[in-house]
């Protein structure tokens, strides 16, 4: 059973429906025991980084998240759920993250020579270029397109966690993978065939 963590931030039902569409049972929950008993855990997220961290703290969900990761069970972060795993974010000030993966969350910055003609937020379909293999990407075509909506992106402290990169003016890290953790900036639940294949792969991990 897949536990989708509910902290009042994000389109949780669409993530649940996407898992159900590929044959995996998923429940939306903030109950510690349900999260502990789940075989897989998903941390989605849409909104401001600081608000999300406050909600995780107010619902007492930080320990269940870090314990799930430490247990070795498959863990998936989606969009802000990727960013929250990092050390800190510069979104609307400086905010501490979960510090599971060392690194920072920074904003796309438009200058005369960078991002000229490109909109912020980065919104729509874009290709992911694979930098290291992951079981979640099995069965996906080369340069598979995924759906993005974001103004901030992650900068890992160590390159060995980088799984895919995406070009938007310059390349940025669009997913990371380490041990039992996979986390992506894009929305697999909105990414049609490729995204559903990724969720199918995640649900099949043991």
User: Annotated catalytic, 163?
Assistant: no
Closest CA to 180 of 128, 130, 131, 134: 134
Closest CA to 172 of 90, 93, 114: 114
Of the candidates 40, 52, 79, 163, the residue annotated as catalytic is 79
Q: Distance of CA 155 to CAs 88, 135, 166, Å? A: 10, 22, 13
User: Annotated catalytic, 189?
Assistant: yes
Kindly report the number of other CB atoms within 10 A of residue 114's CB atom.
Answer: 11
User: Annotated catalytic, 88?
Assistant: no
Map residue 29 onto helix, strand or coil. Answer: strand
What angle do helix axes 12-21 and 192-203 make, rounded to 10 degrees? Answer: 80
Instruction: Supply the residues annotated as catalytic.
Output: 79, 187, 189
């Amino acid at each position: 059973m897949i536990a989708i963590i509910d902290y009042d931030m994000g389109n949780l039902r669409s993530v649940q429906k996407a898992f159900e569409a590929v044959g995996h049972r998923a429940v939306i929950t903030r109950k510690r025991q349900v999260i502990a008993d789940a075989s897989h855990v998903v941390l989605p997220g849409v909104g401001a980084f600081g608000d999300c961290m406050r909600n995780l703290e107010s619902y007492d969900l930080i320990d269940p998240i870090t314990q799930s990761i430490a247990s070795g069970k498959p863990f998936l972060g989606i969009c802000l759920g990727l960013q929250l795993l990092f050390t800190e974010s510069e979104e609307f000030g400086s905010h501490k993250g979960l510090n599971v993966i060392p690194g920072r969350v920074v904003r796309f910055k438009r200058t005369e020579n960078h991002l000229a003609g490109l909109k912020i937020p980065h919104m729509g379909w874009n290709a992911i270029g694979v930098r290291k293999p992951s079981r979640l990407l099995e069965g996906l075509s080369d340069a598979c397109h995924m759906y993005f909506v974001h103004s901030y992106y992650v900068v890992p402290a160590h390159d060995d966690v980088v799984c895919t990169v995406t070009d938007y003016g310059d390349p940025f890290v669009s997913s990371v993978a380490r041990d039992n953790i996979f986390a992506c900036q894009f929305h697999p639940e909105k990414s049609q065939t490729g995204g559903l294949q990724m969720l199918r792969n995640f649900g099949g991990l043991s």
